[in-house]
Structure 1
């Protein structure tokens, strides 16, 4: 059995070819898509976070709204860039969204991805400490956030407060008792996957990874997952961690599917550079008739290793078509692979 969710980047553009022509369109359609995904049996609704872009950027109002409109589906981010976050304010936002949803929040966080602007986190008021780079700053913000999630008091109460205080040092509120078990780290390297395991975070591995061995993407990703699980075991955590991978997968059922995605039927991994020195491997897309798709996916080692699969969806094609995309996977692909 495998949990299957969707991952939306929340693109919008004023182009007449897009079903999401404004920020309002993409936000409202994201809520509708999560509702429909729950109805057809999808396990999770996840959303990417990008700043300074015509995409989803502020996750917690959206996640809270979805939590209020749904009952069973997991809701999450994949991922929130911690270089931009105040861990204390984020704690309050995340706790509120989790309580509204009935503890269904699966919060993916990370150091972030290549940006639309230069050092955008500086515009949000953050800068690395002496000796830090921006990635280290993001990890520092993460460690503060994880410490807050333990729920221990740390702030001295005012001796003459406006409202009565409980005894002792105060923690932030609202506090969600189990949210600390539902934090995921988006790792692009083996080393950060191991670091996440040591800190007790679940693992999100996307369709991009630093090219550390020159092997095919799915093999490198599978090795990353195994290294993460070994580090988790060595750290002595008592619960079983969760691991997700993201894939673009399209079952070609009708002429519209073939028109949109038939050109991806021979897709291969791609190599690119995130900056002048960072070589990355981008995983292939899968697009084929269901029987062929099943055979292709059986060869993907990382999907086999993961307990959760996130299907990247073309959100600009609208809610109805994206429901069709997901339902095609649930009906024609997942049972043959033992995912359902």
Structure 2
């Protein structure tokens, strides 16, 4: 069995071809798609966060709204860029969203990817410490967040508070018990996957990974997952780790599917996401259901993961994206033993 959810970047565009033309459209349709996905039997509704872009950016109001509208489905991010985050404020927001959702929040975070503006995190008031990089800053913010989410008191109480305090040092409120164990790290390298395992974070691996050997994407990603699991076991964590991978998979079951994705490229691509960073971008999987089943059987990384996130073309509208999810759940997942 494999958990299957969707991942939306929440793009919007005023283009006449888009059914998501404003920020309000992107937010409200994201809620509607999560509700529809739950009704279809999907396991997760996940959202990507990008700043300074016509995409979803402020995740916690959305996550809280989805949590209030649904009852069962996991609600998460994949991922939040920690270079932009105040970890204590984030702990408050995450705790509130998780309590509203009844403990269903699965919070994916990472160092982030190239953004729309140069050093955008500086505009948010964050600057790396002397001798550190922005990636170091993201990991430092992450370590603070993880510690705060443990729920231990650390702040000295005011001797004359406005309201009575519980005894001892104070913690960030609201605190949601168990959220610390539902933090995921979006790793682009084997080394950061190993680091995440040591800190007790679950692993998210997307459709992009730094190239570490020139092998096909799914093989490099499977190797990354095995490095993560080895490090997790060595760290001695008591609970079982979770691993998710993202894929663009489209079952061609009607004329709309064939028109949108029938001619899609389905090969890995190698390129540079920064001046000196070579990366491999995973292939997409468009095809008739039987052909998809045969192709997906050979994806080593999907086989290693317990959770699959289907990237959805959100600007095609809620109804069509619900159809995309349903087609995978109905026509593909059973043939692979995922359902």
TM over 0.5: yes
- Say if 2:302 is the partner of 1:300: no
For 1:120 and 1:271, locate their aligned partners in 2 and report how far apart those are by CA, in whole Å: 26
Partner of 1:239: 239
Q: Secondary structure at the match of 2:292?
A: helix
1:291 has 2:290 as partner: yes
Residues 87-126 of structure 1: matches in 2 within 5 Å? 87-126=87-126
The answer as to 2:79 corresponding to 1:82 is no
Q: Which runs of 5+ in 2 are unaligned?
A: none
Question: What SS does structure 2 have at the residue aligned with 1:274?
Answer: strand
1:258 aligned to 2:277?
Answer: no
3-state SS in 1 of match to 2:250: strand
Q: Which residue of 2 aligns with 1:230?
A: 230
Q: Does 1:33 align with 2:29?
A: no
Report the counterpart of residue 56 of structure 2 in structure 1: 56
4+ residue runs over 2 A deviation: none
Work out whether 1:312 is the aligned partner of 2:303.
no
TM-score after normalising by structure 1: 0.99
Describe the superposition over 1:47-99 as per-residue Cα deviations: whole angstroms up to 9, x where unpaired: 00000000000000000000000000000000000000000000000000000
Residues in 2 aligned to 1:7 and 1:166: alpha-carbon distance in whole angstroms: 40
RMSD: 0.4
Q: Distance in 1 between matches of 2:215 and 2:195?
A: 22
- Could you give the per-residue CA deviations for residues 200-254 of structure 1, whole angstroms, max 9, x where no partner exists? 0000000000000100000000000000000000000000010000000000001
Deviations 1:289-311 (A, max 9, x none): 00000000000000000000000
Give the match's secondary structure for 1:333: helix
What are the equivalent positions in structure 2 for 1:40-189 lying under 5 Å apart?
40-189=40-189
1:271 maps to what in 2? Answer: 270
Q: Distance in 2 between matches of 1:63 and 1:255?
A: 34
Q: Give how far 1:274 is off.
A: 1.2
C-alpha deviation, 1:152, in angstroms: 0.8
Instruction: Tell me what 1:323 maps to.
Output: 322
Superimposed CA distance per residue, residues 168-214 of structure 1 (whole angstroms, 9 cap, x where no aligned partner): 00001000110001000000000000000000000000000000010
How far the C-alpha of 1:276 sits from its partner, in A, is 1.3
Deviation at 1:328, TM superposition (A): 0.4
Matches within 5 A, 1:6-17: 6-17=6-17
SS of the residue aligned with 1:188? coil
- Tell me the CA shift for residue 17 of structure 1: 0.4
Name the CA distance, whole Å, in 2 between partners of 1:291 and 1:120: 45
